[in-house]
Structure 1
Amino acid sequence: MQRLKGKVAVITGGNSGIGLASACLFAKEGAQVIITARRQEVLDEAVRQIGHGAIGIKGDVASLEHHAEVAEQVMARFGALDIYMANAGVITLTPSHKVTPEEFDAQFNINTRGVFFGVQSIAPLLRDGASIILTSSLAATKVLDGHAVYAGSKAAIAAFARHWALELRARRIRVNVLSPGPVDTAIIGKLGVSEEDRPGFEQMMADMIPAGRLGMAEELAQAALYLASSDSSFVNGVELHVDGGMSLV
């Protein structure tokens, strides 16, 4: 059964990790998928992997002009939208006393500003009964070393969701938050963990998770599919932790 048949979905940061896994699954489930990414070559490769007529739009979610372009292309090609997944994000792990203004701004511009103005721009195109999914993080509610700025940038997401769920209720648009725990994606390498140190790092993280392992991008995609589809038709304004139980410890 194609749970998203006939739906149009936009996924920001759909070029890798959770975003790419969600884009692939949404397309397989019948959705017309549009993804965004900052680099054209990466975007092109992701579109190839997704298949099913996926479309890529190059741009930076920190830019209001990019959101306007996404809205314009969706309007011109499809006239309306059913699913918006604000997934693009960046992370830099630095102790608070060493954080630079550039690191602070980079994370808030993408993780927070990008989500807010992305939804503001696309909301007029959402069909009644549409689904908005905001990707946050376990770090927003659990204290982790070096995560202060990243956690702050993600903590705002849940507040956005609660407000939007009420602001958009007349149109029956649902707004929910997907909060992953540690997931086995390329972002681990971006944290400065070398390939040599990666097994030890992954084991350290696994020891902190009741499930005993890191999550997989495909598992987060299944949770995103649930929030995007009619399976969650009575779920609104919630933060869904998909973290193997790590939020409990």
Structure 2
Amino acid sequence: MENLKGKIAVITGGNSGIGYATAKEFKAQGADVIITGRRQQAVEIAAQELGVTGLVADQGNLSAIEKLATTIKDKFGKIDILFINAGVLGGAEIETATEEVFDYVMDVNFKGAYFTLSRFIPILHEGASVVFLSSNTASMNGANSSIYSSSKAALNAIMKIAAVELAPRKIRVNAVSPGPIETEILSKAGYSDEELAGVKSWIIDQIPLRHMGKADDVAKLVAHLSQTEASFITGSEFLIDGGMSL
């Protein structure tokens, strides 16, 4: 069903994982989709595969965010959907944490997401939908996760305040908070096949439903929040983690 027909959607970090799956879902529902990413080749390949527009932009760089917003305004005018999805991993024990890792994670996950919203607000149509990709770790207390979890908890605070500030324009702002999702991030973490199997087994043991989620699961939820059927939903965080945070 083309529930998003005629809508213009922007997805940061749309060349892989959840962003890629959401771009595919948006396109299937009739939206005109623009994806962004830091790596030009990866963005170009994903855009060609998906049949969408690809633009290179680093969410960890404010000038790049501002240039992206200007480029999209010039080429497309105002937009209807903004999925602030780009993010990075990074963690350490608080005692041994480094400023380098702290700044890397916060610059993308918190500062970058904040200013992406900030700079895109002027080009959001009245009644637009904004969705942040948060994480179930924002409300959990795992060791070694203080930096990443804090960056996502900060997003949830921004989301709620933005929902209040943008309500007069009927712009809805929500967050989706996935648990463990089967994407290439784990495969790129440097584990051997045996180690990777062990990590996945350990993760699944923490999930009541006993399986990891799929990127498509998150994509369908983001798409729903972007439809007119969700026009009375704003300022809400949606956990999608198989019960892990219980």
Q: Give the TM-score, by structure 1 length.
A: 0.96
**SS class of match (1:244):** coil
Which runs of 5 or more residues in structure 2 are unaligned?
A: none
- Contact kept in structure 2, 1:206 and 1:213, CA below 8 Å: yes
User: Matched residues in 2 for 1:89 and 1:230: separation?
Assistant: 27
- Contact kept in structure 2, 1:161 and 1:237, CA below 8 Å: yes
Q: Which residue of structure 2 lines up, in the alignment, with residue 239 of structure 1?
A: 237
User: Matched residues in 1 for 2:186 and 2:201: separation?
Assistant: 13
Q: Which residue of structure 2 lines up, in the alignment, with residue 130 of structure 1?
A: 128
- Contact kept in structure 2, 1:11 and 1:85, CA below 8 Å: yes
Runs of 4+ aligned structure 1 residues displaced above 6 Å come to: none
1:83-232 correspondence to structure 2 within 5 Å: 83-232=81-230
Tell me how far 1:18 sits from its aligned partner: 0.5
User: Matched residues in 1 for 2:3 and 2:64: separation?
Assistant: 29
Q: Which residue of structure 1 lines up, in the alignment, with residue 65 of structure 2?
A: 67
- Contact kept in structure 2, 1:93 and 1:191, CA below 8 Å: no
Which runs of 5 or more residues in structure 1 are unaligned?
A: none
User: Matched residues in 2 for 1:168 and 1:131: separation?
Assistant: 10
- Contact kept in structure 2, 1:138 and 1:243, CA below 8 Å: yes
**SS class of match (1:74):** helix
Tell me how far 1:192 sits from its aligned partner: 4.0
Tell me how far 1:21 sits from its aligned partner: 0.4
- Contact kept in structure 2, 1:24 and 1:49, CA below 8 Å: no
User: Matched residues in 2 for 1:185 and 1:81: separation?
Assistant: 28
Matched, 1:28 2:28: yes
The farther-off stretch of 189-198 and 151-160 is: 189-198
- Contact kept in structure 1, 2:91 and 2:101, CA below 8 Å: no
- Contact kept in structure 1, 2:12 and 2:86, CA below 8 Å: yes
User: Matched residues in 1 for 2:191 and 2:121: separation?
Assistant: 38
Could you give the per-residue CA deviations for residues 57-80 of structure 1, whole angstroms, max 9, x where no partner exists?
Answer: 112111111112221122112211
Tell me how far 1:56 sits from its aligned partner: 1.0
Q: Give the TM-score, by structure 2 length.
A: 0.97
Matched, 1:2 2:15: no
Tell me how far 1:194 sits from its aligned partner: 2.8
Tell me how far 1:231 sits from its aligned partner: 2.3
**SS class of match (1:247):** coil
User: Matched residues in 2 for 1:13 and 1:194: separation?
Assistant: 26
1:51-62 correspondence to structure 2 within 5 Å: 51=51, 54-62=52-60
User: Matched residues in 1 for 2:179 and 2:93: separation?
Assistant: 20
Tell me how far 1:235 sits from its aligned partner: 0.7
Q: Which amino acid is 2:159 matched to? A: A
User: Matched residues in 1 for 2:43 and 2:193: separation?
Assistant: 25
The farther-off stretch of 139-148 and 108-117 is: 139-148
Tell me how far 1:112 sits from its aligned partner: 0.2
**SS class of match (1:197):** helix
Tell me how far 1:26 sits from its aligned partner: 0.5
User: Matched residues in 2 for 1:191 and 1:61: separation?
Assistant: 21
**SS class of match (2:20):** helix
The farther-off stretch of 180-189 and 118-127 is: 180-189
Could you give the per-residue CA deviations for residues 145-202 of structure 1, whole angstroms, max 9, x where no partner exists?
Answer: 3111000111101110111111011100000001000111111134443333111211
User: Matched residues in 2 for 1:225 and 1:194: separation?
Assistant: 35
